[in-house]
Amino acid sequence: MCGIVGAVRRSEPVLSALIEGLRVLEYRGYDSAGVAVHTGEEVLLCKKQGRLANLEAALAASSFAAGSAGIGHTRWATHGPPSDANAHPHLAGGGQLAMVHNGIIENHQDLRVQLLEKGVEFASQTDSEVLAHLFAVEFAAADGDARAALRAALAQVDGYYAVAFLLSTESGPAIICARQGPPLVVAQGPGGTYLGSDLLALLPHSSDVVFLEDGDIGVLTADGFELFDADGNPVERAPKEIDWDPTEANKGPWPHHMLKEIHEQPDVLARTVFDRMDEQAGDVVLPGLEDEALRSVQRVQVVACGTALHAGWVTRYAIEELARVPVDVEFASEFRYRNPVLVEDTLALALTQSGETADTLAATRLCRELGARVLAICNVQGASQVREADHVIMTHAGPEIGVASTKAFTAQVAAGILLAIRLGRANGALSAERAREVLHGLRSLRFQMEQLLTREKCEHMRSVARNHAAAKGFLFIGRGINFPIALEGALKLKEISYVHAEGYAAGEMKHGPIALIDPGMTIVSVNAPSPLADKMRSNVEQVQARGGVVFSVGSDQATHDLARDVCSVPPTLEILSPLLNVIPLQLFSYYIADQRGCDIDKPRNLAKSVTVE
């Protein structure tokens, strides 16, 4: 949460690079934005509450002079409400240096008291400003040794940070940065040196990026960067070549990133799955996950958050069905603070789009401490989760910018199904013939997804959404492998439309939730051709008999016949049906949010990656 950018250029003014970087990173937080630029003589600051557009307007109205070094920030507020004063950067050292921070300084109150006693004056209510002043005090004491000052300041801090300071050194303006928890990436471009909390900010300048490790300190000048480890020793971190095209992160002609990303799903599925399928052998090829690595797996422990957790739930059904290995699924945020018991030969499975979700990282670290190997299903190249895992299956969704996750979800589910096939083939539970049947179904899915995304289908979903946009609440119900799709449909709707929605296992309705049903409630039924289809149908009849308004998604015609609105999906295997059923639910949420006038790509109170607790 929060986006950080920085650049030290040889001669060109830095401001445009900072603003472009912030534009790419605005999905990381959009409560306020700010920049600080070093002119060579002084540090200029401009920061504004609200969206980046407010900052740009303020900059246009000011005489913000040229300078070739600067830092910028887009904020997701933790301590102190969104305001101009609480926006980053924060100045310290009599305005001689500026700082941006992502993370939480847990002992900020104690440190604030100590600094106040030294006569420091605070301009904001943030925890972050404490770090700015701490560094300034140490910098003054260290006789200009910025690295020594930063180490001394950070030694007093409890918490998590990606932090960058803009300051003067003997050789001119420079940036010094450090990481403990949230990510930081650096790159050398043709015109200078660049810093970002997310590699997307760096791609316009270089496709070779270097990720700081926890404890690292980086010093950026116009000529390059140096890294130092937690003990202060110079350290080389191998550059990672990123094959994303930076223009993929643009919205292009689409009104929203979310709609663009929903429509990318057929291609994302193909990129994630097709090259890994070996239909002749009835198997999939996952480097590092050959028979030897998987044969002994006795149990799988899924840890993830939000939408990624729902993909983990689908994966559970697939693994238990195809590989006959028991799977536990848990919120990473709960798992990490329990005293969990893992049996021998547990494979920990972390699903995460960003690879930087703090709870997922912590939960998988705990799994490793408990003796499990860690397999990550991740979308962002070089992310912490990728670097820390024993095995990785990359999803090839490309940059996902919409805060509501869509294409990353289907890619995670597809990767989970590949894993289930590989595990089943490795341990002998899955025949080549059955594997071929699933692979054949996967091969057809790209076209079937496209059928759900035609102009006509989208118009249909827009009108279905119109019929339900005023409902007072929504219950999404499903069974079996479509129960997690009910959870996902409800999450999508509430996060972008701000209406109350719950996902329920349909069989649980009579244990409480059916009491909610009245004509103001929409019930979204997610069904599939399965032995449970009859039971779903009778659940739908029961809510309909109590006045609930039904929207039926799936391929079961008898359930559709009961509903006010229908979205028919092409028939596929039950195990693959989540990959189709979720698409109308994504469109349903999108169009309801659109009709309610919500800010779809930047829903209130949210940010794309939850890198702090």
In whole angstroms, the minimum distance from the beta carbon of 295 to ligand M6R comes to: 29
Q: What x-and-dash track marks residues 95-114 binding ligand M6R by CB under 6 A?
A: --------------------
Return the number of the residue (457 or 608) whose C-beta is nearest ligand M6R.
608
Instruction: Pick the binder of ligand M6R from 181, 196, 218, 306 (CB under 6 A).
Output: 306
The footprint of ligand M6R on this chain (CB under 6 A) covers a number of residues equal to: 15
Could you tell me the two tokens for 522? 């929409």
Q: Cα 370 from chain centroid?
A: 26
Question: How many CB atoms neighbour CB 253 within 10 A?
Answer: 6
Angle at the Cα of 48 from the Cα atoms of 45 and 53, rounded to 5 degrees:
110
Neighbour tally for 453: CB within 10 Å: 19
**Distance of alpha carbon 390 from alpha carbon 399, whole angstroms:** 23
Stretch that binds ligand M6R, among 146-154, 214-222, 303-311, 590-598 (CB under 6 A): 303-311
Pattern 121-150, ligand M6R, x by CB under 6 A: ------------------------------
Q: Is 367 a catalytic residue?
A: no
Question: 449 is written with which tokens?
Answer: 């997804």
On the 0-12 / 13-18 / 19+ scale of CB atoms within 10 A, 252 is exposed
Q: Decide if 209 contacts 199 (C-beta within 8 A).
A: yes
Site for ligand M6R in 314-343 (CB under 6 A): none
Report the sign of the C-alpha dihedral through residues 543, 546, 548, 551, in that order. positive
Distance of CA 413 to the CA centre of its chain: 15
CA distance 237 to 231: 15
Near ligand M6R by CB under 6 A: residue from 405, 522, 539, 581: 405
Residue number with CB closer to ligand M6R (193 or 405): 405
Q: Does 305 help bind ligand M6R (rule: CB under 6 A)?
A: yes
By the rule CB under 6 A, 180 interacts with ligand M6R: no
Per CB under 6 A, contacts with ligand M6R among 22-61 are: none
Which tokens sit at 608?
């794309």
354 makes contact with ligand M6R (CB under 6 A): yes
**Whose Cβ is closer to ligand M6R: residue 359's or residue 556's?**
359
Residue 403 makes contact with ligand M6R by CB under 6 A: yes
| Comparison of 29 and 34: residue with beta carbon closer to ligand M6R | 29
For residues 73 and 50, what is the distance between their CA atoms, to the nearest angstrom? 12
**Proportion of the chain in helix, strand, coil states, percent, rounded to 5:** 40, 25, 35
Contacting residue, 32, 102, 307, 522, with ligand M6R by CB under 6 A:
307
Give start and end residues of each alpha helix (H) in 107-252. Answer: 108-117, 128-141, 146-154
Q: What does the alpha-carbon distance between residue 150 and residue 132 come to, in Å, rounded to a whole number? A: 10
Task: State the minimum distance, in angstroms, from the CB of residue 309 to ligand M6R.
Answer: 8
Q: Whose CA is closest to 543, among 578, 507, 585, 493?
A: 507
* Angle made by CA atoms 11, 15, 20, in degrees to the nearest 5: 115
User: Does 348 participate in binding ligand M6R (rule CB under 6 A)?
Assistant: no
Which residue out of 2, 46, 177, 367 is catalytically annotated?
2
Q: Which of residues 457-516 bind ligand M6R (CB under 6 A)?
A: 495
Interatomic CA distance for residues 50 and 81, integer angstroms: 11
* Residue closer to ligand M6R, measured from CB, 150 or 358: 358
Residue 2 is among the residues annotated as catalytic for this protein: yes
Cβ proximity to ligand M6R, 162 vs 439, nearer residue:
162
Does 586 engage in binding with ligand M6R (CB under 6 A)?
Answer: no
User: Residues 49, 78, 333, 360: which binds ligand M6R (CB under 6 A)?
Assistant: 360
The three-class DSSP label of residue 232 is coil
Query: Is residue 259 within the footprint of ligand M6R (CB under 6 A)?
Result: no
Closer Cβ to ligand M6R, 354 or 448, answer by number: 354
Q: Which is nearer to ligand M6R, 357 or 539 (CB)?
A: 357
Question: Contacts for 435-441 with beta carbons within 8 Å, 24 or more apart?
Answer: 435/282, 435/283, 435/322, 436/279, 436/282, 437/573, 438/322, 438/573, 438/575, 438/576, 439/277, 439/279, 439/282, 439/284, 440/279, 441/572, 441/573, 441/575, 441/576
Say which residue the tokens 């116009």 belong to. 222
Q: In angstroms, what is the minimal distance from the CB of 496 to ligand M6R?
A: 8
**Contact call for residue 282 and ligand M6R (CB under 6 A):** no
Q: Among residues 19 and 361, whose Cβ is nearest to ligand M6R?
A: 361
Q: Which of 577, 586, 609, 611 binds ligand M6R (CB under 6 A)?
A: 609
Which residue in the shown chain puts its C-beta closest to ligand M6R? 306
Write down the catalytic residue from 48, 492, 602, 608.
Answer: 608
Question: Can you tell me which of 404, 449, 481, 580 binds ligand M6R, judged by CB under 6 A?
Answer: 404
Does 395 sit near ligand M6R (CB under 6 A)? no
Residue 610 contacts ligand M6R per CB under 6 A: yes
Residue 199 in contact with ligand M6R, rule: CB under 6 A: no
Enumerate binding residues for ligand M6R (CB under 6 A): 305-308, 352-354, 357, 360, 403-405, 495, 609-610
Which residues form the catalytic set? 2, 608
